[in-house]
Amino acid sequence: MKYYLASNDLYVEMQSSVFKQIQLQAESEYPNENGGILIGRYSTDRHTVHIEKIVVPVKKMTGRTMFMRNTKGMEKVWEQLAKDGLRYVGEWHSHPNGSTKYSSTDLATMVEIEKEVSIENPLLLIVGVRSDGVSAHTFYCYKNNKLLEYRKMIDLRDLFHGLQKQMLASLNVNREFIGHPGSKGDATEQHWIEFLRTYLPDRYKVDKAIVIDSMGNVSEQMDIVIYDAIYTPFIFNQDGFMYIPAESVYAVFEVKQDVKGNIEYAAQKVESVRKLKRTSIGMVASGKSLPARPLTKIIGGILTTTSSYCNNETIKAQLKQLKGLQTLDLGCLCDTGSFYIDYNEIIPDSISPTNNIEDNRKYIEQVYVSREVNEIKFSDKEVSLFTFFLQLVSYLKFIGTVPAIDINAYLKAIHVKIDEDI
């Protein structure tokens, strides 16, 4: 639990277990007030207070609108805290059936406390408590005869832990209650699609689809295709299948219940997309004519709910065996961890991207042919979705925008040509 005072660049960090103790203390005296002493340590730069425990006063007086404490007789407590490297950092008390806004009495008390303990910026924590438990809490810092309010910061790790638990719960329900393998697979794919649709920026679209090129070649049906939402000029829907032009594709993924036995299969499906013939033509951006952009990589990976392998070494060995267009970039095994593969890509000087589309095709193919695994890195299982998602976003950011599609290359199939100038 972390709090921030922007005006003074000050932070408070409090262990969840400490707040749990405060919560129990506040609720135990309801409808009377209760309170105690905050104990912790300061960071080296004095910008952060780390609260590590609370001390219950030996003597105290409580009432519905008052709390008073006395620290006499606690000398041995202070001595032990000092030996542990801890010290007094502030006060806390509850407001039964009230807000967490400080009162004039609270401010006056902090003025006296600063004189008594001789520390800079002592803290005040006010906890709102009702008949059904603690409802809110607010940290204040006493400074220059004022109580300045901290803002609670978001713990991204907790946020993504919650997201991961929610996602895993949905995936596991599918496995437990959907008996038919095909139906189970469809439901799992849909959960992944909805997850990516929800959290990826709006410039990306996510669907189950078949990828096509201007020659009429098609890929295998891909469980997840991430493609451009702005520069995709057409999408076909026929006989229940969605067809997306290869030029619009950023990434493709195979979705399985378990990773065991499916890495090579996923690689073959990714290859079916990468080997399609993509076009690229010049375009106008911000009023300036730009030459045809070199073809970009197409991200490929695998997404599973579980891994039946005893360890990740088996998975790493299988990933290292993949070559060329079958190489995978990243994946997520929800109950095991996410992974990404760092490649060495050594491309001969004789092959380089140019304004010529055939040169571009040779170049991007050579990128995959030259790939040698440098490192395969797995995340902790507790943050598998978190790290997979951020790694995916990083790769997408590196790609930027897909090359502009040559629409006339597709129109050759119906012997039509459009004028692309105005």
Q: Which residues have a catalytic role annotated?
A: 223, 254, 256
- Locate tokens 């049906």: which residue? 221
Whole-angstrom distance, CA of residue 32 vs CA of residue 65: 7
302 close to 347: Cβ distance less than 8 angstroms: no
What is the total residue count of the chain? 422
Return the number of other C-beta atoms located less than 10 Å from residue 128's C-beta. 18
In angstroms, the CA 1 to CA 143 distance is 22
Backbone dihedral angles phi then psi of residue 94, each to the nearest 5 degrees: -100, 155
Assess contact for 127 and 92: CB atoms under 8 A: yes
Those residues with Cβ within 8 angstroms of residue 267's Cβ, 6 or more apart along the chain or in another chain:
300, 322, 326, 327, 328
CA distance 56 to 166: 38
Q: Are 253 and 300 in contact (CB under 8 A)?
A: yes
Of 146, 402, 69, give the one whose Cα is nearest residue 251: 402
Does residue 306 contact residue 258 with C-beta atoms inside 8 Å?
yes
Residue with tokens 């004519």: 289
Whether residue 31 has a cis bond before it, omega within 30° of 0: yes
> Within a 13 Å sphere around the CA of 219, how many CA atoms are in the beta-carbon half?
34
Sign, CA dihedral 75-81-83-85, equals negative
Measuring CA to CA, how many Å separate 93 from each of 12, 100, 127, 317?
A: 17, 10, 6, 57
